[in-house]
């Protein structure tokens, strides 16, 4: 998912340089949403991992 956020960011940068304002703003919004979703999932996974802890040795 982070890969898609980076791809949309690159598309937005290229479109912005070439003067395609509508495409650039759309790609920036998609990249921003994907990045926020990625960060939220990362934080949730880190919290679950911290709460789960290690299993006792058998």
Q: Where are the domains of the chain?
A: 2-51
For range 38-53, the mean pLDDT:
86
For range 41-58, the mean pLDDT:
80
Helices (H), 1-58: 2-18, 21-52
Q: Which residues contact 11 (CB under 8 A, 6 or more apart)?
A: 23, 27
Residue 58: the pLDDT is 64
Residue identified by tokens 């937005």 is 12
For range 6-26, the mean pLDDT:
80
Distance between CA atoms of residues 49 and 25, nearest Å: 36
Confidence of residue 1 (pLDDT cuts 50, 70, 90): low
**Cα diameter, the chain:** 63
pTM listed for this prediction: 0.63
Tens-place pLDDT, residues 22-36: 777 888 888 888 888
**Helix, coil or strand: residue 26:** helix
């Amino acid at each position: 998912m982070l890969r898609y956020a980076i791809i949309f960011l690159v598309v937005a940068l290229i479109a912005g340089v070439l003067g395609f304002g509508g495409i650039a703003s759309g790609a920036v919004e998609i990249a921003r949403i994907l990045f926020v979703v990625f960060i939220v999932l990362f934080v949730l996974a880190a919290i679950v991992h911290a709460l789960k802890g290690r299993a006792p040795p058998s």
